[in-house]
A and B are shown apart, each in its own frame.
Chain A
Amino acid sequence: MAELMNIHIRGGRVIDPANNIDSVKDLYIASGNIIAFGNMPDGFTADKTINAVNQIVCPGLVDLSARMREPGQEYKATLKSECAAAIAGGITTSCCPPDTTPIIDTPAMANMLTHRGREIGLTHILPLGALTNALGGETLSDMHALHQAGCVAFSNAEYAITNTMVMRRAMEYASSFDLLLILHANDPWLSDTGCMHEGEISTRLGLAGIPEAAETVIVARDLALIEQTGVRAHFARLSCARSVDLIVQARERGLKVTADVAIHHLHLTEYDVTDFNTLCRVMPPLRSERDKDSLRSAVVQGDIQAICSDHQPHERDAKLAAFSEAEPGISGLETLLPLGLKLVHEDVMGLNTLIASLSSGPAALLGIEAGSLSVGCLADICIFDPHEEWLLDSTKLLSKGRNTPFKRWPLKGRVSTTLLAGSIVYSRT
């Protein structure tokens, strides 16, 4: 890592939702930390000044889910390639789901991943621990030890825990140590062989559908168990309006549950699958226009606290197949912020709401020190030009996964500089 410099970020519009700041201010960094706002502190000499005039300066983004594919699937992507993609997208904290090979169900694996992340030194890598051993849904992982080894939360990734008693015990155990569970709501019996939203389009295309009940049945089940056990829980990647309704009702009853949505669910619907476009094959599936609208307003209302990339890079062959056979997922690190800004430009949400849902929101629900520009904090910072217009060229992505359905989308807003712990790790020239 480069020598830590004194950095002066000059003239940018600083947006820091955690501290309710939105104003044009200078920012000063020394020894990797933010040391002052506004006026230059006494005795500060900048080794480097970043001109941020007409740009936004915000906390480095916190992404709740990014598959780096390492270890185990290096033919799809590597930690190094994906960390480079993350910082090009302004992301300075990436949570890595446990479904690597081997699975993150031992402290050694968690340590290895964190260590590799530090070695690469581009973005903070936070492992998510497996909730059950081998993600098998039968026996509990050593959650406490995994937490000690750096796992910030526990999830069974997309492997359903069908045994309700196991889920209850997992929640009881996790609640003893105030550990956070990240839940993927999907009933495998109802999803069955489905590969897209069950509705008019699946009927037209003759593709097996995934009914919205596959999600809502499990959201309802898990909410009942959360209420009983008092565990800290978070629902990942909601796709249906009715799931949001269930969570809103639960929060009204006093449950402290949170939720996130993948950025592509705020832009795409079942109609994008119409020509068997395998780039739009994702799990949970793209749903109806109504669902998309509800998810958008849930972010605005604060019922969904985080937007994530749900980054899943793939090699070309993984998508060059019959729709039902194609592997699900979108390469999303480099489009997370621009697609979020598209929502701002289209007046779906305010810039502060967007930035909160990409930084302070996810950081708060994880309970980590990130996602803010507080004095004294690590200087993880994203600087972007909100006005720059560009067309996404998938061949120019830094991620090894070029599987994006957003190619040739006109985008507005682009990261210019990313700082990690006071080091400039990305600078677009």
Chain B
Amino acid sequence: MRPHLQYTNNGKLHHFLSIEGLQKETLQQILTTADKFTQFGQREIKKLPLLRGHTVVNLFFENSSRTRTTFEIAAKRLSADVINLNPDSSSTSKGETLLDTVNILEAMHTDLFIIRHAKSGVAELIARHVPDHVHIINAGDGQHAHPTQAMLDMFTIRQYKGPFNELKVAIVGDILHSRVARSQIHALNSLGVHEIRVVAPNSLLPSQIERLGVHAYNDLQQGLDGVDVVMMLRLQKERMQHAYIPSEQEYFNLYGLTTESLAAAAEDAIIMHPGPINRGLEISSEVADGPQSVILPQVTNGIAVRMAVMSMILGGEGNG
């Protein structure tokens, strides 16, 4: 067993499971590698032979059209063979069948699995049980981590706001249930931003969140005061049913990002959202489609960042 699950003994990226546990240099390398692929994406012929001959399986136990599509495009631009599978999540919630699924696909000589699952820790569970030549990228596990989303967010912030060390960033919304927020917090801390704030009512803030290196705010105006980056989170509509919040209306009034509430942030602040957006619940259309929004560039950047991660893991291996 390797001492670090995410690295080979030579320090090369082996699995990409969570930002926590990765070195700052790795995050920076992802950003600089993604830079090259961004320029490349603007060319007429967008294919590179880096992953030729490799088989990539998109194994999505939980549905996601956006993330799956961008992973697929990224793998295809690197000339990998890509297979998409959406096993029925309910029949694979038990470990043995889950690992069975992976073992069967591994027996077909898959090199890289991109895994999404509704339960926290599944990517890590699978990574601990596959043979050494198989790689895992976590495309979102439960409420734990979504590291490629966090890295595309970092890439977008760097693109629009320059160096990280002066920046104040606010993450607004359902922090409690958000794997995106957790990965963003780890990435922002690792890259050395000046301040991270999380903004939500206490019922949507996880226990001891300050221990992750953030300041918690219950008031949106105070939380947004002077920030350079506003990262909105999606609010699942069923949260009312479990008494996390009273109503959509009250939530939007208190935590919805509108032209008025955005005024507290720095004048040139950028607005981000991992999608899909609930317009009128966590963000107004005016802001989502406004000049400060970088929500669409986030999607575009997702391809380059995912190409970067895949090429760092598989590049230089075998017939690549």
16 contacts between A and B (CB under 8 A): A200-B212, A203-B182, A203-B212, A205-B121, A206-B120, A206-B144, A207-B142, A275-B124, A276-B125, A320-B125, A321-B94, A321-B96, A321-B125, A322-B95, A322-B120, A325-B94
Knowing A202-B206, A322-B121, say if A207 contacts B94 (CB, 8 Å).
Answer: no
Give, as a whole number of angstroms, the nearest-CB distance from A250 to chain B.
28
Is B145 touching A206 in the complex (CB atoms < 8 A)? yes
CA distance A164 to B122 in the complex (A): 39
Number of A-B contacts (CB under 8 A): 80
Identity of the chain B residue whose Cβ is nearest the Cβ of A198 in the assembled complex: B207
Question: Which of chain A's residues 310-346 have a Cβ closer than 8 Å to chain B?
Answer: 317, 319-326
Give, as a whole number of angstroms, the nearest-CB distance from A269 to chain B.
14
Query: Does B211 lie at the interface of the complex (its beta carbon under 8 Å from any beta carbon of A)?
Result: yes
Is B99 touching A276 in the complex (CB atoms < 8 A)? no
Give, as a whole number of angstroms, the nearest-CB distance from A158 to chain B.
21
Give, as a whole number of angstroms, the nearest-CB distance from A283 to chain B.
18
Given contacts A203-B208, A321-B95, A325-B94, 7 further A-B contacts (CB under 8 A): A199-B208, A200-B207, A204-B212, A206-B145, A320-B96, A322-B120, A325-B93
CA distance A319 to B94 in the complex (A): 9
Is A203 touching B93 in the complex (CB atoms < 8 A)? no
Query: Does B119 lie at the interface of the complex (its beta carbon under 8 Å from any beta carbon of A)?
Result: yes
Is A322 touching B212 in the complex (CB atoms < 8 A)? no
Q: Out of B125, B143, B145, B208, name the residue touching A200 (CB < 8 Å).
A: B208
Q: How many residues of B contact A (CB 8 A)?
A: 27
Q: Which residues of A contact B98 (CB under 8 A)?
A: 321-322
Interface centre among A204, A211, A326 (most CB of B within 10 A): A204
Question: Which of chain B's residues 92-127 have a Cβ closer than 8 Å to chain A?
Answer: 93-96, 98-99, 117, 119-122, 124-125
CA distance A198 to B205 in the complex (A): 12
Query: Does A89 lie at the interface of the complex (its beta carbon under 8 Å from any beta carbon of B)?
Result: no
Query: Does A98 lie at the interface of the complex (its beta carbon under 8 Å from any beta carbon of B)?
Result: no
Q: Which residues of A contact B179 (CB under 8 A)?
A: 206
Query: Does A422 lie at the interface of the complex (its beta carbon under 8 Å from any beta carbon of B)?
Result: no
Query: Does A90 lie at the interface of the complex (its beta carbon under 8 Å from any beta carbon of B)?
Result: no
Identity of the chain B residue whose Cβ is nearest the Cβ of A323 in the assembled complex: B121
Q: Out of B20, B122, B206, B211, name the residue touching A322 (CB < 8 Å).
A: B122
Query: Does A209 lie at the interface of the complex (its beta carbon under 8 Å from any beta carbon of B)?
Result: yes
CA distance A172 to B113 in the complex (A): 59
Interface centre among B93, B182, B208, B209 (most CB of A within 10 A): B208
Identity of the chain B residue whose Cβ is nearest the Cβ of A320 in the assembled complex: B95
Q: Which residues of B contact A317 (CB under 8 A)?
A: 94-96
Q: Which residues of B contact A208 (CB under 8 A)?
A: 143
Q: Which residues of A contact B209 (CB under 8 A)?
A: 203
Give, as a whole number of angstroms, the nearest-CB distance from A405 to chain B.
15
Give, as a whole number of angstroms, the nearest-CB distance from A404 to chain B.
18
Q: Which residues of A contact B99 (CB under 8 A)?
A: 320
Identity of the chain A residue whose Cβ is nearest the Cβ of B122 in the assembled complex: A322
Question: Which of chain B's residues 57-113 have a Cβ closer than 8 Å to chain A?
Answer: 93-96, 98-99
Binary contact track B199-239/A, C-beta < 8 Å → 1, others 0:
00000001111011000000000000000000000000000
Is B207 touching A203 in the complex (CB atoms < 8 A)? yes
Q: Which residues of A contact B121 (CB under 8 A)?
A: 205, 207, 276, 322-324
Binary contact track A176-197/B, C-beta < 8 Å → 1, others 0:
0000000000000000000000
Identity of the chain A residue whose Cβ is nearest the Cβ of B182 in the assembled complex: A206
Interface centre among B120, B121, B182 (most CB of A within 10 A): B121
Identity of the chain A residue whose Cβ is nearest the Cβ of B178 in the assembled complex: A206
Interface centre among A208, A317, A322 (most CB of B within 10 A): A322
Binary contact track B266-281/A, C-beta < 8 Å → 1, others 0:
0000000000000000
